[in-house]
């Protein structure tokens, strides 16, 4: 007889994570680019589907830029028939330690 080795058999690490944590981690990898110009440090974030009011930008501990937010689950109608759901919902937070030359009192977002 041939035994088939199943490498992930019995692996339940994802199953042991509560659903709320899985939602958070699914959106936690918000992609952010950071460049420095002679005038400023510029952060560009890919946050599709979020409104300006749903994103928070703040400076903590003197020089740590924190970008956070939350995408809510869409309202589901009783007659909706979903074929695929790939966009995740949940919270995200990214933190960046700014260099000494950053003017944290002039941080702005748009």
| Assigned fold of 24-74+87-97 | Immunoglobulin-like (2.60.40)
Does the pTM exceed 0.85? no
pLDDT for 65 equals 93
* Percentage, residues of the chain above pLDDT 90: 21
The per-residue pLDDT for range 25-58, each reduced to its tens digit, is 445 567 899 999 998 999 999 888 788 888 999 9
Instruction: Select the more confidently predicted residue: 2 or 107.
Output: 107
The pLDDT of residue 15 is 52
Query: In this structure, what token pair is assigned to residue 105?
Result: 């009192």
- Give the residue with greater pLDDT, 44 vs 110: 44
Judged against a pLDDT cut of 90, whether residue 70 lies above it is answered with no
* Structural domain boundaries in the chain: 24-74+87-97
């Amino acid at each position: 007889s041939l035994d088939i080795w199943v490498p992930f058999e019995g692996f339940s690490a994802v199953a042991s994570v509560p659903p709320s944590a899985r939602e958070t981690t699914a959106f936690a990898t918000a992609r952010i680019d950071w460049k420095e110009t002679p005038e400023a440090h510029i952060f560009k974030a890919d946050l599709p589907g979020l409104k300006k009011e749903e994103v928070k930008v703040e400076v903590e501990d003197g020089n740590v830029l924190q970008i956070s937010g939350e995408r809510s689950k869409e309202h589901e109608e009783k007659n909706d028939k979903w074929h695929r759901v790939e966009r995740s919902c949940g919270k995200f937070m990214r933190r960046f330690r700014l260099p000494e030359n950053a003017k944290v009192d002039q941080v702005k977002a748009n």
